[in-house]
């Protein structure tokens, strides 16, 4: 294990301005916090964070990252608190440690590998500072290096997660060496047989060939010397995993596989790369179809190098990679180079234009469409900031747009789940359906078979799927209500006329009205586009004739029982439809030359029309039994919440108060409410007041008032 002083010296070697005091403090903090805890290997626990910090010094990371590495397991595994860390190490380190802690809580289960892509996005979304991910990768690397101490089942889960999640993430952020080692270590766990068969072959090869890597390297050095170029050569056996991958991809046996060795030649610049390639190809025959020029066409994550396979020293096939120092560091450091170059800049050596271009490209891949300067400024990983990733109780990962709520989540899982949801638990706690979800939240949707989508949900859902499902069902429900209302209105109208039309005669109306079915007819009546009295008139033309002579047959005053005093018996009397007077209102009669007498309420606006003809005004008053003798139509207007059940509730309340709806129409409709105009048959103003009072007392009903005209 690396000692405190060694760690500090390594950081100071690449960053002389590193905060030595903070690193020392974090080292001591971690040792104290982890106390006597042990790793599965039997080592003291604190050796782990120290090793993780050590890995990160290879990438020349800054003080905050090294301190974060030392503290990364203290929140989860010790008594240390986030507040304590913030107090001791400041808000930046506290945030970084918090970020790593959150990532560590995310586990991929073995039956979820098909969700790996989403999982990777989740981890990136949660690493709002890329250093969080870099620490997590180093953490995982050290855990994989010591995985043999874990129980097989746990080791498998972690290895699978490493292969599916962390190795691709390491590649994504350009840390190729970490990626390769992670893949190799997980291969060893997940396919132990294959790993050991490769291992045995390598052993045999070593036994046969002796120290071949060293001999080949010496031979290559000779060739390189001849070029006069400054170069650094390193050689190695390929990793088990990469040998295995090649065997699989090419469907060949180990004996057929020749290039078990790989050499890397690092030179000054791109020009030297091509000159070196020329020298190698002149000395050793190249194997056809094995040459790749990633300098001219870099890989997506910015990787640059020349790759060739030659029949090398001692006639052994070998892969040779040739790249410049910069290209090499990019390939090794990936996104960590950002801090590396920042540290370099402090010392006065600006990153060159080439480095900057590469870094920009890499970060753009990470960050996609976002602005590079902004990225560098706050080094945030915002690429999934517009998304949120949540889990079902069974661990299924659901990707949603930012701002999504439990209702969106429910619809994303299944339409039925959305339609019937009545509540939700977020991380085990009851939460309102409009709660915006956060990354990593676990959502349990509570359902009821009684539930139907609520129009009000539309105010807070953000997914198209939820929105359209809610609209579709609420539209259907509202329609069903209008149909029911229309049916009732027609029944009332028919009963009043003592008519009972057959279904066949009703069906005969559809064609002239250009309707598809009876429900359309009821719907028309329910929404007020078709008058129930017109329907009556169409079925029974005699009713129409009666109606034509008397604006409202039912409310028409029989001449032999005029409830209004002061009028000449025998003269047709109508109650004005502009103001709908009812007993209790102060009234006046207007002699409407030839059309009989119209009774208006004294405050009816239309009376102004008669200002200049006082001779046509007739004093009038209700008789004492006016209320008992018949019903009068009064008009009210009400705002009714656009919720399921409200329309039928309205008609029920009116019926309970012994009122009868003569007509109903929607005067305005928004997402939130209907404004309805309802004509109600009532006895008098007291009866009307009772109805208005009852309606006003209903939840969802507002501004219920009598209107004139």
Give the interface with Mn ion as residue ranges (CB under 5 A).
Answer: 73, 139
Residue 76: active-site member: yes
Neighbour-count burial for 291-307, b at 16+ CB within 10 Å, e otherwise = eeebbeebeebbbbbbb
* Rounded alpha-carbon distances, angstroms, from residue 648 to 547, 654, 661, 681, 704: 28, 10, 12, 18, 16
126 vs 627, beta carbon nearer Mn ion: 126
Say if CB 440 and CB 461 are below 8 A apart. no
User: What distance in Å separates the CA atoms of residue 621 and residue 565, rounded to the nearest whole number?
Assistant: 5
139 vs 585, beta carbon nearer Mn ion: 139
Q: Which two tokens stand for residue 514?
A: 């250009």
Q: Which two tokens stand for residue 441?
A: 């939240």
What sign for the dihedral angle of Cα 146, 340, 127, 361? negative
CB of 65 to Mn ion, least distance (A): 14
Residue 99, burial from CB neighbour count under 10 angstroms (0-12, 13-18, 19+) = buried
| Residue at token pair 């920009």 | 360
User: What distance in Å separates the CA atoms of residue 254 and residue 269, rounded to the nearest whole number?
Assistant: 36
129 vs 684, beta carbon nearer Mn ion: 129
139 vs 543, beta carbon nearer Mn ion: 139
Say if CB 26 and CB 56 are below 8 A apart. no
129 vs 139, beta carbon nearer Mn ion: 139
User: What distance in Å separates the CA atoms of residue 79 and residue 33, rounded to the nearest whole number?
Assistant: 7
CB of 70 to Mn ion, least distance (A): 11
CB of 143 to Mn ion, least distance (A): 6
CB count in 10 Å sphere of residue 504 = 7
Return the residue nearest Mn ion (CB atom).
Answer: 139
The catalytically annotated residue of 21, 76, 107, 203 is 76
CB of 73 to Mn ion, least distance (A): 4
73 vs 681, beta carbon nearer Mn ion: 73
String of DSSP letters for 50-115: HHHHHHHHTTT--HHHHHHHHHTTHHHHSS--HHHHHHHHHHHHHHHHHHHHHHHH----GGGGGG
**CA count, 13 A, side-chain hemisphere, 69:** 33
Residue 255: active-site member: no
CB of 104 to Mn ion, least distance (A): 7
CB of 102 to Mn ion, least distance (A): 13
77 vs 332, beta carbon nearer Mn ion: 77
CB of 47 to Mn ion, least distance (A): 11
139 vs 181, beta carbon nearer Mn ion: 139
Say if CB 249 and CB 256 are below 8 A apart. no
CB of 48 to Mn ion, least distance (A): 6
Say if CB 455 and CB 474 are below 8 A apart. yes
CA 240 to chain CA centroid, nearest Å: 40
The catalytically annotated residue of 43, 77, 117, 293 is 77
Q: Known catalytic residues?
A: 76-77
């Amino acid at each position: 294990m690396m000692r405190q002083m060694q760690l500090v010296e390594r950081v100071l070697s690449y960053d002389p301005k590193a905060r030595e005091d903070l690193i020392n403090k974090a080292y001591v903090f971690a040792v104290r916090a982890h106390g006597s805890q042990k790793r599965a290997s039997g080592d003291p626990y604190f050796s782990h964070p120290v090793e993780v910090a050590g890995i990160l010094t290879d990438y020349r990371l800054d003080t905050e990252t090294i301190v974060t590495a030392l503290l990364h397991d203290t929140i989860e595994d010790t008594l240390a608190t986030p507040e304590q860390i913030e107090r001791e190490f400041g808000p930046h380190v506290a945030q970084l440690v918090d970020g790593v802690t959150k990532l560590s809580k995310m586990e991929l289960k073995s039956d979820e590998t098909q969700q790996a892509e989403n999982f990777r996005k989740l981890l990136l979304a949660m690493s709002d500072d890329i250093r969080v991910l870099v620490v997590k990768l180093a953490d995982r690397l050290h855990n994989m290096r010591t995985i043999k101490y874990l129980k097989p089942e746990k080791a498998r889960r972690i290895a699978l997660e490493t292969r599916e999640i962390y190795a691709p993430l390491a590649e994504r952020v350009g840390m190729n060496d970490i990626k390769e080692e992670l893949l190799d270590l997980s291969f060893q766990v997940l396919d132990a047989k294959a790993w050991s068969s490769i291992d045995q072959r390598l052993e045999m090869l070593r036994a046969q060939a002796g120290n071949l890597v060293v001999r080949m390297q010496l031979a290559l050095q000779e060739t390189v010397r001849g070029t006069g170029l400054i170069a650094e050569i390193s050689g190695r056996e390929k990793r088990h995993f990469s040998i295995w991958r090649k065997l699989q991809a090419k469907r060949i046996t180990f004996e057929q596989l020749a290039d078990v060795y790989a050499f890397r030649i690092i030179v000054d610049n791109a020009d030297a790369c091509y000159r070196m390639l020329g020298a190698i190809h002149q000395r050793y025959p190249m194997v056809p179809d094995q040459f790749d020029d990633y300098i001219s066409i870099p890989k997506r994550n910015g990787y640059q190098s020349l790759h060739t396979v030659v029949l090398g020293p001692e006639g052994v096939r070998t892969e040779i990679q040739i790249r410049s120092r910069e290209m090499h560091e990019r390939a090794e450091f990936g996104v960590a180079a950002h801090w590396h170059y920042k540290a370099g800049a402090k010392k006065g050596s600006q990153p060159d234009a080439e480095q900057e271009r590469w870094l920009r490209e890499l970060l753009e891949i990470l960050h996609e469409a976002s602005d590079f300067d902004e990225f560098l400024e706050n080094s945030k990983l915002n690429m999934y900031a517009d998304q949120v990733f949540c889990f079902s109780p069974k661990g299924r990962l659901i990707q949603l747009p930012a701002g999504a709520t439990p209702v969106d989540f429910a619809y994303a899982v299944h339409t039925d789940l959305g339609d019937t949801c009545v509540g939700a638990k977020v991380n085990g706690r009851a939460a309102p359906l409009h709660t915006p979800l956060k990354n990593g939240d676990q959502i349990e949707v509570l359902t009821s078979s009684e539930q139907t989508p609520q129009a009000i949900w539309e105010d807070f859902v953000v997914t198209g799927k939820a929105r359209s499902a809610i609209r579709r069902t609420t539209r259907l429900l509202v329609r069903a209500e209008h149909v029911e209302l229309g049916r009732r209105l027609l029944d009332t109208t028919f009963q009043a006329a003592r008519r009972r039309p057959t279904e066949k005669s009703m069906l005969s109306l559809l064609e002239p009205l250009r309707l598809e079915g009876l429900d359309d007819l009821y719907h028309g009546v329910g929404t007020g586009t078709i008058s129930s009295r017109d329907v009556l008139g169409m079925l029974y033309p005699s009713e129409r004739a009666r109606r034509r002579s008397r604006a409202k047959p039912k409310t028409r005053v029989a001449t032999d029982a005029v409830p209004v005093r002061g009028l000449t018996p025998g003269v047709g009397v109508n109650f004005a439809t502009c103001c709908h007077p009812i007993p209790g209102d102060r009234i006046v009669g207007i002699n409407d030359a030839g059309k009989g007498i119209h009774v208006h309420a004294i405050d009816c606006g239309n009376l102004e029309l008669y200002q200049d003809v006082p001779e046509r005004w007739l004093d009038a008053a209700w008789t004492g039994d006016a209320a008992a003798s018949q019903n009068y139509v009064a008009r009210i207007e009400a705002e009714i919440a656009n919720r399921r059940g409200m329309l039928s509730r309205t008609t029920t309340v009116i019926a309970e108060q012994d009122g009868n709806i003569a007509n109903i129409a929607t005067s305005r409709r928004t997402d939130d409410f209907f404004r309805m105009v309802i004509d109600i048959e009532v006895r008098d103003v007291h009866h009307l007041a009772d109805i208005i009072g009852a309606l006003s007392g209903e939840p969802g009903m507002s501004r219920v008032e009598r209107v004139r005209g």
